[in-house]
Amino acid sequence: MTDLTDYSAEIHPLLEKLLNSGFNYDIDKINKAFLFAKKCHDGQFRKSGEAYIYHPIAVAELVAGLDLDTDSICAAFLHDTIEDCPDMVDEELITKEFGNEVTELVKGLTKLVSIKYADKAEQQVENLRKMFLAMSKDIRVIFIKLCDRLHNMRTLSSHREEKQRIIALETMHVYAPLAHRLGMSKIQRELEILALQYLDPIGYEEVKRDIDKKYGMSKDFLERARKAISDNLSAQKIEFTTEGRVKSIYSIYKKMYNQNKSFDEIYDFYALRIIVSTELECYTVLGTIHETFNSIPGRFKDYISMPKPNGYRSLHTTVIGRDGIPFEVQIRTKEMHAIAEYGLAAHWKYKISSKDDSMDKKLEWIRTLLETQHDETDPDEFLRPLKIDLFADETFVFTPDGDVVSLPTGANGIDFAYSIHSAVGNKMIGLKINGMIAPIDTPLQTGQIIEVLTSSASKGPGRDWIKLVKTSEARNKIRQWFKKEKRAENIAYAKAEIDKEISRLSRPITEEQKNELLTGYAKRYNLPSAEDLYNALGYGGVSLQKLSAKLKEDATKLISSMPAPEDPFSLIQAKEEIPSHRHSEKVIVDGLDNFQIKYAKCCNPLPGDRIMGFITRGFGISIHKFECPHTVSGLKDPEEKDRWVNARWNDKASENSSGFTAQININAVNSDSILSGISNALMEIHASITSINSRLAQRDRVMMLTLGVKARSTEHLQSIIGRLKKVKDVLEVSRG
C-alpha cells in the first residue's frame, strides 16, 4: 500500500479509491495534475462561494468512478485551466507537463470562448461541433464532459433562476441524450431528474408525491415478487442476482405529460432486474417468469436479439404480480448489465471487448453526425439530431435479407432508404412493406420487412422530402443531393422566395440595398457570396423561414431610415382645387364628365383600392391602382404627369355591378383533384372564373395557377381567397 502522506490531503479519498481499484494508476502524475490545477485556480470561487478547485476534484472523482485511465483523471483536474486561466496556461505548457494525450483531452473540453459569434446559439453549435470532433477522436472527452456537467447540475442551485433554466434546458436537450446514446444510463437518469427540478418544479413535485404515495402503499410488493422468483430459479440451480427498483421520476413524468397518461396507467412503475451468467440462461429465466406470473400481451421486448443503437441488450417483460400489481422484469447477463449502466465506459471499467463490438463501430454514429452536419449553419437544425436521433424511442425493421435496421419512432420509408445508402434514397421510386406497395412516407413499425424500390431513371429526391423525413441523416443526405445536383434550380427558387418576401414590404427597397443585406447574411454564415447564400437557402442548408424573417426586420429598419416617398397625389395638387366632381356610374373623376372608362389589366383595380385615372388618346380614362408601377412612374414623367387625374370609387360601385375582373395566383400540389377542388370551391361561393392559366414547377410537383375571377370589391376578393386557401393540396393563395 502506497503511503499517501506525501500527497495532497484534499485528494486522499480519491487516491485511496484508485489504489484499491486493482488498476495500475500513475498516482504521482495525478497528484501533479491536482497541484497544477490548484495553483491555476487559486483565488477563484464558484457562485456558491466555494473555492473553485473543489469542482475539478469532484469531476475527477466521478471520472475515477468510471475507472477511466490516468490521463482521463489528469484531464478532469485540468479541464477548465485553459479557459479560466489563459494568462497562466496554454496547450504548450500542458503538453510539456503532462503529455500530448492529456492536452488533446483538455482541448476537447475547452469552450471556444475566444471567438466572437453573432449570438449565443451559434457559439453553442460551434462548441458542440468541436466536442463531437474531439469525441470522434477520443471518446474519453465526452465521458469527462458528462462528469463535469453532472457536478454542475448537482450544484446548480447557487445560480440565478434564468441561468438555472438555460443550463437545465441544455442538459435535457444535449447531455442527457448523449448519455443515453452512449448507454450511460446511471448518468442519464441523474441528469434528467436534476434538470426536471429546474424546468418544471411543480410537475416534478406532483410526480414525486404520487410515487411516494404509491410506493408507501405497496412497499413490500417488490420483496414478495423477488422471493417468488428466487425460489423458482434456485430450484433450477441457476446462479443469479436480483435488483428491485421504482421507475425514475423523469421516466414517469415523460410518460404522463408527453403521452398524456395518468399515473395509474404506468405499468412499469415497479421493476425487478435479474442478472445471470449466460445468454441462454436469460431465455430460461424468461420462461420461468411467465410460468410464475401472468404476462401482459404486447409488453415483451427482446433487446438481446435486436440491441438498441447504444448497445443496450436485455429481455423486458411486464407481468401481473400475485397482488394484482403489474411490474416489469429485466433479464440480462453481467456483461449486458455493465454496458446498460456504463455504456461505452464499460470498455474501460470492465475491460469488455469482442470482435463485433469494437470501439470504432460504436463511434460510427458520431462520425456520421459530423459528416451529415458539416455544412449545417442553423443552430436549431444542428441541434435537431440531438433532440430526435439521440433520444427517440427506437423502431426495429428488417431488410428483405433479414438484417435489422434501427430508426427513431415515426421514421418512414424515405428514412429507411437513406439509412441503407445515399444512392438508394436518391434513386427511390417506391416502397414495399411486408410485400405490399405503400406510400414512401408511411411511418414504419417494429417487425415490418421493408423493401425499397429504385430506378436508374429516377430524377432524384423531391424538395418536399426534406419536410417528410424524421432523421437528420436522411434530411442532410437529401440536402447534399440538391446542393450538388441542383445549384441553378436552388438559386432560382431562393431568389423567387426572397423577392416574394420583399414584395410584401410596406415600401420597395432597391436591388443594391437587397444585395447589400444578403451579402452581409452570407458572411455571417461563412459563405463566399450572396449567390452561395441563395444556393444554401435553396437546398435547405440555411433556413429560408428564419432568413426571411431577418430580412423583413432589417429591411423595415432600412425603410424607416429612408426619406418618405413622394406622394403621387402631391404631383397633381393643382387638380385638387377643381371644385366640381362629376362622375360616371362607378368612378368619380375630378373635373371630367361624360367620359368612357376602362380598368387597367396591369393591376385590375377593385372597389376598395385607392385609384387614379389616366386620360388615354381616344379610349377614355384608364383606371389604375394608386400603387400600380405605371401610376408611380407616370406621375414622375414630365410629358405624361398632366394626363393623370384624381379618381375615386362611387360609394355604390360594388353594388351596381356584376363584378370586376381580379387576378388570383395559386400554388398547389400537382394532383388529379386540384382543378376540380378549386372549381367546386368557387361554385360554392358563386364566384365566376373568367380565365385560367397554369404551369408546373419544382420538377412537376407544384402547379402554379393564375385565375381571373369576378369580384365585387377588395373585401369580396379576400373572402374568395380565404375559401381557396381551404381547398385540399392548395399551398398558397395571393392576389395577382
Three-class SS of 56-101: HHHHHHHHHHCCCCHHHHHHHHHCCHHHHCCCCCCHHHHHHHHCHH
Report how far residue 662's alpha carbon sits from residue 685's, in angstroms, rounded to the nearest whole number.
16
- At residue 257, the pLDDT reads 73
- Residue 332 is predicted with a pLDDT of 94
Residue indicated by cell numbers 436469460: 282
Among 302, 298, 293, smallest CA distance to 326 is for 293
Predicted pLDDT at 425: 92
* CB-based contacts of 347, cutoff 8 Å, min separation 6: 353, 359
Torsion of CA 315, 256, 339, 391, to 10 degrees: 120
pLDDT along the chain (736 residues), means of 10: 74 88 87 92 88 93 88 92 86 91 86 48 60 69 90 92 88 83 85 92 86 70 84 86 82 76 72 91 92 86 82 88 84 88 68 45 54 50 49 73 80 91 90 90 87 88 85 83 81 80 72 82 82 82 79 79 56 40 63 74 84 78 84 79 81 66 84 80 81 70 81 85 85 83
Helix 714-725 and helix 674-684, axial crossing angle in degrees, nearest 10: 140
With left for phi above 0 and alpha for psi between -120 and 50, is residue 43 left, alpha or beta?
left
| Parallel/antiparallel/unpaired status of strands 326-333 and 315-320 | antiparallel
Hey, how many other C-beta atoms are within 10 angstroms of the C-beta on 287?
10
Contact between 600 and 634 under an 8 Å Cβ cutoff? The reply is no
- Give pLDDT, residue 124: 59
84: annotated active-site residue: yes
| CB neighbours of residue 56 within 10 Å | 25
Alpha helices, DSSP H, located in 589-698: 629-636, 674-684
What pLDDT score does 262 carry?
73
- Residue 301's SS3 state is strand
Q: What is the identity of the amino acid at 156?
A: L
Distance CA(60)–CA(78), nearest Å, equals: 9
Rounded Cα distance, 136 and 130, in Å? 10
Supply angle C-alpha 139, 380, 196, rounded to 5.
70
Q: Which residues have C-beta within 8 Å of that of residue 142, sequence separation ≥ 6?
A: 131, 135, 178, 182
Which residue has 387625374 as its cell numbers?
645
Beta strands (DSSP E) in 340-403 are 394-398
Tens digit of each residue's pLDDT (9 = 90 or more) over 440-489: 989 998 778 899 998 888 888 887 888 888 887 888 888 888 888 878 87
Please tell me the predicted confidence (pLDDT) of residue 19: 86
Which residues have a Cβ under 8 Å from the Cβ of 198 and sit 6 or more positions away?
A: 156, 164, 165, 167, 168
499 classed as catalytic? no
Q: Which of 61, 69, 83, 640 is catalytic?
A: 83
- The b-or-e profile of 164-183 (16+ CB within 10 A means b, else e) is beebbebbbbbbbbbbbbbb
How far is the CA of 353 from the CAs of 72, 144, 350, 366, 404, in angstroms? 20, 21, 9, 20, 22
Rounded Cα distance between 146 and 185, Å, is: 12
Q: Check if the beta carbon of residue 657 is closer than 8 Å to that of residue 606.
A: no
Separation between Cα atoms, residue 538 and residue 354, nearest integer Å? 46
DSSP state of 585: S
Say how far apart CA 362 and CA 358 lie, in whole Å: 7
Catalytic residue among 26, 84, 357, 640: 84
Distance, in Å, from the CA atom of 437 to the CA atom of 414, rounded to the nearest integer, reads 14
Q: Which helix (H) or strand (E) holds 614?
A: strand 611-615
pLDDT of residue 82: 87
In the chain, % helix, strand, coil (3-state, to 5) comes to: 50, 15, 35
Sequence-separated (6 or more) residues with CB below 8 Å from residue 482: 461, 463, 489, 490, 538, 539, 540
| Spatial distance between the Cα atoms of 520 and 527, rounded to a whole number of angstroms | 10
Residue 687's φ and ψ, nearest 5 degrees, are -105, 130
- Of 624, 599, 600, 604, the C-alpha closest to 665 is 604
CA distances from 53 to 34, 73, 86, 112, 158 (A): 9, 14, 16, 22, 16
Cα 19 to Cα 25: distance, rounded to the nearest angstrom: 7
CB atoms within 10 A of CB 261: 14
Burial (Cβ within 10 Å: 0-12, 13-18, ≥19) of residue 436: exposed
Place of cell 479541464: 79
